[in-house]
């Protein structure tokens, strides 16, 4: 009972001493920084509607910064705009624009430096270099923000949401466009990326490097220069995402390079040059994914081992599976293939003869891309039909022994 009374007294005391500081456009210059300087931990700073032009604002108090009516903080293309170096800060409802640019420094509109439990939510970032940058952040939440920039090429642009050496991050419900990479993770662990829309970025909608034990779920990645890339990572789960309209010679729905022990389930790969490209990837479980209207649904390099593809739909792809080797160490079973021409005499919904998804023509194209000009020609059709009757060139063990006769219908 005494402990309860003491805790109640401390909480009541903290609340009674918290203040609300109102910042108005007429209070310039450096109105926001002055408000932070005189604030105490736990105070609320309300920034009224208007345009504020300030040098880098250092947030070194545990304060709640809230924009009222969409105030604009204009960095005038000089330096970083907001730098958070105190735990527990909340930034909400601001429009942050015109961040600085540098070819050798990672200048961000909002930077989190060695902090925990920071929340950045429902802000609008316009015309920035790096948007929101977490450096050694822990258990921070970046939610509901809209980041828009005007990147033209990789060299002169930076990432929308960039996390470096961070842990237990939550990247939720943001919209990112016009950056180099929409979302970038490097050395980030135990984190979740959920419900974001990353589109029309110069390179990747999402880019993983050396980041383990993470999950990204329910995101949409569309119209990005090279799609999505997950590299040099392990135990990454990719669930119920959409990879759409990533077209180009080096574009993929998702590029998996040197990753292992992950689950890829419930995703939609639609209208990509290549749905999934795998190199040096091991022990990945693909299930309940749909591959529709892609150039290549899957490209699996010979360096991959121990992957499984079970209960997936393959429909209207130019090529279902391509590989550059004759020995394939991945397993295909119980998938639906719209190119399957077998039969089901016992009407159990499973084809009575195996399906070989690798066409001999796809192997020729893999070795000689210019032969793609013969696509849909009579000679190519004859070549593929002959290979199905008497397999000799395609990988012997790359086959689905239990192909489904009808596509799966998932909720």
Is residue 99 a part of any domain in this protein?
A: no
Give the burial class of 240: count Cβ atoms within 10 A of its Cβ; 0-12 exposed, 13-18 middle, 19 or more buried. Answer: middle
The predicted pLDDT at position 75 comes to 92
Is residue 65 a part of any domain in this protein?
A: no
152: number of Cβ within 10 Å: 9
Strand ranges in 282-396 using DSSP code E only, listed in sequence order: 282-287, 290-292, 296-300, 305-310, 313-315, 319-323, 329-333, 336-337
Residue 396 has pLDDT above 70, yes or no: no
Is residue 41 a part of any domain in this protein?
A: no
pLDDT tens digits along 290-322 = 999 998 999 998 899 999 999 999 999 988 998
Q: How much is the mean pLDDT over the chain? A: 88
Is residue 90 a part of any domain in this protein?
A: no
Query: Residue 36: in which H helix or E strand, if any?
Result: helix 31-38
Is residue 301 a part of any domain in this protein?
A: yes
Q: Which residues pair with 52 in a beta bridge?
A: 73
DSSP, collapsed to helix, strand or coil, labels residue 170 as strand
Written as six digits, the tokens of 175 are 């919209």
The predicted pLDDT at position 104 comes to 75
Q: How would residue 106 be classed by pLDDT, with cut points 50, 70 and 90? A: confident
Is residue 399 a part of any domain in this protein?
A: yes
Rounded to an integer, the average pLDDT of 390-407 is 76
Query: Residue 389: in which H helix or E strand, if any?
Result: helix 378-389
CA gap 23, 31 in Å, rounded? 7
CA gap 11, 191 in Å, rounded? 31
* Number of domains into which the chain is organized: 1
Domain range for 338 is: 226-358+395-411
pLDDT tens digits along 220-260 = 999 999 999 999 999 999 999 999 999 887 789 999 999 99
CA gap 2, 6 in Å, rounded? 6
Is residue 311 a part of any domain in this protein?
A: yes
Give residue for tokens 């961070």.
166
CA distances from 246 to 146, 229, 266, 316, 371 (A): 21, 12, 19, 16, 23
The predicted pLDDT at position 1 comes to 46
Is residue 407 a part of any domain in this protein?
A: yes
Query: Residue 306: in which H helix or E strand, if any?
Result: strand 305-310
Strand ranges in 254-295 using DSSP code E only, listed in sequence order: 254-265, 268-270, 274-279, 282-287, 290-292
């Amino acid at each position: 009972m005494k402990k309860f009374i003491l805790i109640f007294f401390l909480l009541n005391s903290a609340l009674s001493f918290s203040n609300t500081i109102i910042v108005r456009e007429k209070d310039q210059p450096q109105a926001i920084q002055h408000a932070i300087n005189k604030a105490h931990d736990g105070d609320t700073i309300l920034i009224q509607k208007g345009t504020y032009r300030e040098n880098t604002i250092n947030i070194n108090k545990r304060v709640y910064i809230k924009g009222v009516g969409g105030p604009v903080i204009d960095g005038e293309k000089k330096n970083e705009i907001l730098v958070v170096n105190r735990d527990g800060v909340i930034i909400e409802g601001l429009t942050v624009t015109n961040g600085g640019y540098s070819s050798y420094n990672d200048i961000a509109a909002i930077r989190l430096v060695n902090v925990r439990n920071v929340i950045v939510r429902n802000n609008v970032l316009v015309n920035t270099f790096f948007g929101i940058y977490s450096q050694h952040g822990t258990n921070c939440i970046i939610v509901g923000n809209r980041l828009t920039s005007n990147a033209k090429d990789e060299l002169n642009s930076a990432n929308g949401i960039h996390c470096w050496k961070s842990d237990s991050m939550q990247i939720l419900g943001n919209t990112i466009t016009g950056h180099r990479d929409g979302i970038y993770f490097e050395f980030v662990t135990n984190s979740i990326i959920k419900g974001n829309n990353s589109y029309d970025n110069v390179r990747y909608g999402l880019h993983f490097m050396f980041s383990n034990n993470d999950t990204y779920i329910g995101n949409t990645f569309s119209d990005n220069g090279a799609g999505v890339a997950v590299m040099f990572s392990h135990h990454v789960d990719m669930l119920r995402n959409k990879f759409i309209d990533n077209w180009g010679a080096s574009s993929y729905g998702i590029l998996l390079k040197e990753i292992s022990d992950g689950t890829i389930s419930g995703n939609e790969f639609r209208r990509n040059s290549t749905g999934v490209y795998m190199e040096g990837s091991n022990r990945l479980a693909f299930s309940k994914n749909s591959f529709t209207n892609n150039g290549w649904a899957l490209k699996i390099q010979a360096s991959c081992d121990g992957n499984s593809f079970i209960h997936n739909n393959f429909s209207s792809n130019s090529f279902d599976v391509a590989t550059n080797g004759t020995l394939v160490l991945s397993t295909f079973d119980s998938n639906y293939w719209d190119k399957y021409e077998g039969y089901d005499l016992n009407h159990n919904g499973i084809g009575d003869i195996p399906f070989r998804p690798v066409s001999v023509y796809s192997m020729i194209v893999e070795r000689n891309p210019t032969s793609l000009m013969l696509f849909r020609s009579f000679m190519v059709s004859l070549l593929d039909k002959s290979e199905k009757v008497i397999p000799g060139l395609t990988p012997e063990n790359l086959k689905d022994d239990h192909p489904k006769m009808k596509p799966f219908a998932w909720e």
